[in-house]
């Protein structure tokens, strides 16, 4: 017996021994996504297999197999009078089933009473990436057949909200193309980039695919797409390297180390941020800006183009925008923390210094109880005004102190620094607030300066 057969036999034996007989019949009734581990290395083409799983508030913990005949069979949990969320996974390199599908479905059901249909095309998504891309439109065609049948039973196209992850976002986009953009909404979670960045809009997700299209970008320099594909596109931390993820730029001799860093962390951060946003514990607000560089410089701090209402990640209709103010391919930027709920407060730091005789470096620290945010500023002899955006874990009104430290003396003899003013402003704000400023600060060599704030939240 080969080692492969021995391994399979042992796994089956262990499952049989450790699984209690009680409840086995009930578990068999619960549908599961396909798991075709290791098929990712196969190159040959096979017949595409697409199946659907249904979860509702009546069966949140036990998915039901679903198809066009299910509506005429009893019992069916599908309610034609409710909106329908359609989840579409993406490329599955090793054929393993996406474990996050049930978690996302349950998060959606916690917020809204809807039908959640999960599209299972794992078998067709587990080959060489270029072959899978060739299949994605066929997946969309099969989904469109199901949508047509649901329409015959009373479902309205505008009641469908497709949520596509990676390549699944483009599958959703082509479904929208087949229905000429009449689907209610498509949300793309880090839509796939390879083979799509230069594609025609007919072949990728774009704003014409639904009445409203939003996208979250977290890995646009590798597996995600770097261009806007929706009415509004949220670029988290610039859309590339995410806080708390392994840097993709460090070389390594280990194969799985970069795979974890690129795919699981950066690429999938869009999904985890979206799921976190669903519970509404804190708003994830996007700021319109032409580039991430301009955003970090503090050149974009308001949402006047949206009549003062900043778009938010989540299920709110049109991301909180009125239909009259919805643009197309508008880039939105925001900073996040490294863990749920991922929300950060945007603090604009503005520093005005007296002319310097030589370059210097200042470290700015905001403190709030046991939390702190640090930012280093390199001061040049040709510039006296500096602006940068900080991601602070709490609101500015809860910030207890600010500290400035002269840090350049480790490398050369640096003189005193005279700071005319240091100002802090939290944005975006519903009202035009004045920045919090401290004036006339002198920082000597090998020294630091600090100032305590009076907490003013709620005033």
Please give the average per-residue pLDDT across 216-238, as a whole number: 97
Catalytically active residues are 166, 190, 267
d(CA 303, CA 233): 14
Please give the average per-residue pLDDT across 210-224, as a whole number: 96
pLDDT at 285 over 90: yes
Residue-level pLDDT at 340: 93
The pLDDT tens digits of the residues spanning 113-150 come to 999 999 999 989 988 999 999 999 999 999 999 999 99
Cα–Cα distances in Å, from 153 out to 30, 68, 162, 405, 412? Answer: 25, 10, 19, 68, 76
Residue for token digits 């941020």? 273
Give the confidence band of 455 by pLDDT, cuts at 50, 70, 90.
low
d(CA 202, CA 180): 11
Residue-level pLDDT at 456: 59
Please give the average per-residue pLDDT across 248-271, as a whole number: 62
The pLDDT tens digits of the residues spanning 236-255 come to 999 999 999 975 444 443 44
In terms of Cα–Cα distance, which of 232, 147, 144, 155 is closest to 188?
232
Q: What percent of the chain has pLDDT over 90?
A: 64
Residue-level pLDDT at 249: 46
Domains 41-334 and 345-452 share a fold: no
Residue-level pLDDT at 228: 97
Domain-wise residue ranges, the chain: 41-334, 345-452
d(CA 414, CA 401): 25
> Does residue 33 contact residue 97 with C-beta atoms inside 8 Å?
yes
pLDDT at 289 over 90: yes
Strands 385-392, 345-353: pairing kind: antiparallel
In terms of Cα–Cα distance, which of 188, 263, 282 is closest to 227?
188
pLDDT at 10 over 90: no
Give the residue with greater pLDDT, 339 vs 431.
339
Give the confidence band of 409 by pLDDT, cuts at 50, 70, 90.
low
Residue-level pLDDT at 67: 87
Residue-level pLDDT at 430: 65
Class at the top of the CATH hierarchy for domain 345-452: mainly beta
Average pLDDT, the chain: 86
Classify residue 244 as left (phi > 0), alpha (psi -120 to 50) or beta: left
CATH topology for 41-334? Rossmann fold (3.40.50)
The pLDDT tens digits of the residues spanning 43-95 come to 455 568 899 999 999 999 999 999 878 877 767 899 999 999 999 999 998 88
d(CA 332, CA 23): 49
Please provide residue 104's backbone torsions phi and psi, each rounded to the nearest 5 degrees.
-65, -45
3-class SS string, the chain:
CCHHHHHHHHHHHHHHHHCCCCCHHHHHCCCCCCCCCCHHHCCCCCCCCCEEEEECCCCCCCCEEECCCHHHCCCCCCCCCCCEEEEECCCCCCCCCCCHHHHHHHHHHHHCCCEEEEEECCHHHCCCHHHHHHHHHHHHHHHHHHHHHHHHCCCCHHHEEEEEECHHHHHHHHHHHHCCCCCCEEEEECCECCCCCCCCHHHCCCHHHCCEEEEEECCCCCCECCCCCCCEEEEEHHHCCCCCCCCCCCCCCCCHHHHHHHHHHHHHHHHHHHHHHHCCCCCCECEECCCHHHHHCCCCCCCHHHCCCCCECCCCHHHHCCHHHCCCCEEEEECECCCCCCECEEEEEEEEECCCCCCEEEEEEEEECCEEEEEEEEECCCCCEEEEEEEECCCHHHCCEEEEEECHHHCCCCCCEEEEEEEEEEECCCCCCCCEEEEEEEECCCCEEEEECCCCCCC
């Amino acid at each position: 017996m080969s080692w492969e057969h021995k391994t399979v036999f042992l796994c089956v034996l262990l499952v049989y021994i450790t699984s209690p007989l009680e409840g086995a019949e009930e578990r068999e009734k619960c549908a599961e996504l396909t798991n075709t581990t290791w098929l990712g290395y196969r190159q040959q083409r096979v017949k595409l297999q697409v199946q659907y799983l249904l979860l509702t508030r009546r069966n949140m913990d036990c998915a039901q197999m679903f198809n066009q005949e299910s509506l005429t069979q009893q019992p069916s949990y599908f309610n034609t009078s409710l909106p329908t969320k359609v989840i579409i996974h993406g490329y599955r390199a090793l054929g393993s089933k996406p474990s996050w599908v049930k978690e996302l479905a349950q998060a959606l059901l916690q917020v809204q009473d809807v039908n959640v249909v999960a599209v299972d095309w794992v078998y067709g998504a587990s080959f060489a990436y270029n072959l899978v891309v060739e299949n994605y439109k066929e997946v969309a065609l099969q989904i469109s057949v199901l949508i047509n049948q649901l329409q015959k039973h009373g479902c309205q196209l505008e009641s469908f909200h497709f949520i596509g992850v990676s390549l699944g976002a483009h599958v959703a986009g082509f479904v929208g193309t087949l229905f000429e953009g009449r689907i209610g909404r498509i949300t793309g979670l880090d839509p796939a980039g390879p083979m799509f960045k230069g594609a025609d809009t007919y072949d990728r997700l774009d704003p014409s695919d639904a009445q409203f299209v939003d996208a979250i970008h977290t890995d646009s320099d590798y597996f995600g797409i770097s261009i806007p594909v929706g009415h509004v596109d949220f670029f988290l931390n610039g859309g590339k390297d995410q806080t708390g993820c392994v840097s993709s730029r460090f070389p390594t001799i280990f194969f799985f180390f970069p795979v974890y860093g690129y795919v699981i962390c950066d690429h999938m951060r869009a999904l985890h941020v979206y799921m976190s946003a669903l519970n509404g514990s804190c708003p994830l607000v996007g700021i319109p800006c032409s580039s991430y560089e301009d955003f970090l410089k503090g050149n974009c701090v308001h949402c006047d183009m949206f009549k003062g209402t900043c778009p938010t990640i989540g299920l709110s209709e049109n991301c909180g925008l009125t239909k009259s103010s919805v643009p197309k391919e508008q880039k939105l930027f925001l900073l996040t923390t490294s863990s749920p709920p991922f929300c950060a407060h945007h603090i604009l730091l503005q520093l005005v210094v007296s002319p310097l005789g030589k370059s210097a470096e200042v470290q700015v620290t905001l403190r709030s109880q046991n939390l702190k945010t640090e930012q280093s500023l390199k001061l040049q002899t040709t510039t006296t005004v500096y602006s940068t955006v900080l991601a602070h874990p709490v609101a500015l009104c809860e910030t207890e102190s600010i500290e400035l430290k002269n840090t350049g003396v480790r490398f050369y003899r640096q003189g005193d620094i005279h700071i005319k003013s240091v100002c802090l402003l939290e944005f975006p704000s519903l009202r035009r607030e004045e920045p919090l400023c401290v004036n006339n600060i002198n920082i000597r060599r090998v020294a630091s300066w600090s100032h305590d704030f009076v907490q003013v939240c709620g005033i």
